[in-house]
Structure 1
Amino acid sequence: MEFRDVVRRRRMVRRFREEPVAPEVVDRLLDHAVRAPSAGFTQGWSFLVLTSDEERERFWAATTPEDSVRDMSAWLAGMRTAPVLVVVLCSRDAYVGRYAEPDKGWTDRDEARWPVPYWHVDAGMASLLMLQTAVDEGLGACFFGIDAGRLAAFRDAFGVPGEWAPTGVVAVGHPEAGGAKGSPARRQRKPMADVVHRGRW
């Protein structure tokens, strides 16, 4: 598939068929993810791959809030059909440690030196490469976050060390026709003239 077609066809898919994803395809998703750029080539990411029924059920049990401001039942019913979940995690310590090395020189390890948390930025780039790879493989995928109130339960359920923070989760599978369209069905893409500023704002 042409790269521009991959970019244009990428959508957040929220319901999947029962058909499993081949293990070699999952490996390609991960192989592409680690090709993402990372500040200082820190590569401060980790990927928790959940493919069995038991693993995925444990994930949903740990991360589903007991109540929510809006009704999430339809979203959950669709997302729980995903045969593959990849939790993308990052390490702040890896980045402040990397930039305290001699070739970078920030020996105080002060997080205030970072105007944005590049550990999450880089994990987001890795996630996007998985989303695009899914399209190239003829699959669907969706990126979503873990509820802040459920992070401790998630960590306990999977033994995630405190150093590692989840940036989000990539759900992957064979898309079900007629699944939920999401916000793009209710909102238009902004015109380029509204978002691109050439030379000055």
Structure 2
Amino acid sequence: MITNFFLVRHAIKEKAKGDVSITPDGIMQAQLTARYLSSSPIKAVVSSPLRRARETAKYIASATRSEVTEDIRLRERANWGDLPEQTFDEFVEMWEQCTRDPDYIPPVGDSAKQACMRLSSLLSELGNIHPPESNIVIVTHGGLITDFLVNAIPESELNVWHPSFIEEQSNLVPECSITKLNYDNGKFSIDDFANVEHLK
């Protein structure tokens, strides 16, 4: 029996170092996303512990009459500010190396494969504890979403959604986009990818 996961990237965040909030435009995005998701019966809303995700999840939970739970497995692969002395350029260089080499373990955070494994473990856990046909909202980060997809879904399936998915992965998941996954008997498939129609 299928479990439906709505993977939501957090709303537009402040351009600053550390655990930042969402912006006024991000609040509008979060509200539109919440309104869209309220049309479905939502069983649970699970959020990354980072502020930009928690704030986005708060609007979704309110609109869907759900409680937000946090799970550290939804944290981004790495966050600028985790290494206090790291410049933004150094962070980007580290990030891009992780993207090019999924096995590379950076000085702080996880490799892309490690990030995939923790999201996969959470989704499998949620799929097994909630009743069949449940709709579960996951509020997380664009990098974690693509880390999961690139390492858990066959490239041929990814390329249905974008012809150069792996090469372009860092540019494919806009803020507050929704990627819908189906989980059935331990297997994941993509039902919709990085949809932003609800934001228009």
| TM-score between the two structures when normalised by the length of structure 1 | 0.29
Q: State which structure, 1 or 2, has the greater radius of gyration over its C-alpha atoms.
A: 1
| TM-score between the two structures when normalised by the length of structure 2 | 0.29
Flag the structure with higher strand content: 2
